């Protein structure tokens, strides 16, 4: 092998390594050590939008939290519950804590996998029921 071939291979290898490090440095999750969601669905069975005054938008319909819970009960009776649900901000309002709590409660009650778009980041909502400690 000639010196020229060795030099070209070394240059290419260092270029690939530099490009990989540069791309890894651009990823905010790698840099900050934050959690990474690996199994994000490309399609959600249902998409909810957060609206003003703690309300939700579902397929263009404005629903109170109680109305949304009633809709989920209806879907449960019809055996048509969604498996994945996305909660995202609407053009009118961002996701508020009260809406996120309602969403988490629906997730626990109806057993779907919940995702929320919070501050531009997709987050898995991992709600769990509190154990009953009263006897």
Residues 57 and 91 in one domain: yes
Residue 17 resides in a domain: yes
121 token code pair: 């980041």
Residues 28 and 86 in one domain: no
Contact 41, 84 (CB under 8 A): yes
Q: Which domain holds residue 24?
A: 3-32
Residues 50 and 82 in one domain: yes
132 token code pair: 């009953």
Residues 77 and 120 in one domain: yes
Helix (H, G, I), strand (E, B) or coil at 54: helix
Tell me how many domains the chain contains: 2
- Cα 129–96–111 angle (5° rounding)? 30
What's residue 22's pLDDT? 43
| Average pLDDT over the chain, rounded to an integer | 80
Contact 106, 115 (CB under 8 A): no
Helix (H, G, I), strand (E, B) or coil at 119: coil
The per-residue pLDDT for range 32-59, each reduced to its tens digit, is 444 555 566 778 999 999 999 999 999 9
What's residue 14's pLDDT? 54
């Amino acid at each position: 092998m000639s010196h020229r071939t060795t030099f070209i291979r070394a240059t290419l290898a260092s270029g690939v390594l530099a490009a990989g490090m540069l791309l890894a440095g651009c990823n905010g999750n790698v840099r900050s050590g934050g959690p990474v969601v690996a199994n994000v669905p490309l399609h959600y069975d249902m998409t909810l939008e957060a609206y003003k005054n703690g309300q939700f938008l579902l397929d263009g319909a404005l629903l109170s939290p109680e109305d949304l819970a009633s809709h989920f009960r209806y879907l449960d009776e019809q055996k048509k519950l969604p498996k994945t649900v996305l909660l995202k901000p609407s053009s009118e309002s961002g996701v508020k804590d009260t809406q996120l709590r309602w969403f988490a409660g629906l997730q626990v009650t109806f057993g779907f996998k919940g995702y929320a778009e919070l501050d531009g980041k997709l987050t898995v909502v991992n709600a769990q029921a509190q154990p009953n400690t009263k006897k």
